[in-house]
Copies of this chain bind each other. A is one copy, B any other.
């Protein structure tokens, strides 16, 4: 294993190669990973997964969703979603009902309790965002968001809703 902490603290030149840090893509990758990890840990600490939040957020946008469409929209594996929904259902945050037109399908919907939990999640997310974006002012955050949206849309046009171009 690596030395606990002592080693890392006393080395003053622990900074990464300039060649890597000079690359926006490298920074994007590393920062993205770190940010994701931090967010996941925060949700974990609250007894949930970050995926739980994304499911609730999707369900809150109105459309009655079936498990397949939820999984596809969130780019999750359908078998992965099963466990997430199990967790949410156990706590009464979502409901699964058989689709009467096609009894293979489950229609998933948000409960009142789920809506309240979503509000809690939003506060958590806001806290995390504030922590991560602390060094940037409002204008800079908007700029960052705009740049990221354009990169994301370039990779997968279907990912970002069209009306979200340069908003904050």
Contacts and interface: CB of A to CB of B under 8 A. Distances in A.
Nearest to A121: B19
A interface secondary structure, majority: helix
Contacts of A78: 1-2
B17 A57 contact: yes
B129 A24 contact: yes
A66 to B, nearest CB: 11
B2 A69 contact: no
A104 interface: no
Given A16-B74, A35-B28, A148-B28, A23 B159 contact: no
A84 interface: no
B14 A72 contact: yes
Contacts of A24: 129, 133, 141, 144-145, 148
A83 to B, nearest CB: 15
Q: How large is the interface on A (under 10, 10 to 19, 20 to 34, 35 or more residues)?
A: 35 or more
B22 A73 contact: no
A136 to B, nearest CB: 7
Given A72-B8, A72-B14, A161-B15, A32 B28 contact: yes
Interface string A116-130: 000000000100110
A89 interface: no
14 contacts: A1-B77, A1-B78, A11-B69, A16-B58, A17-B61, A21-B161, A25-B35, A25-B128, A31-B155, A32-B35, A132-B154, A133-B151, A134-B154, A136-B147
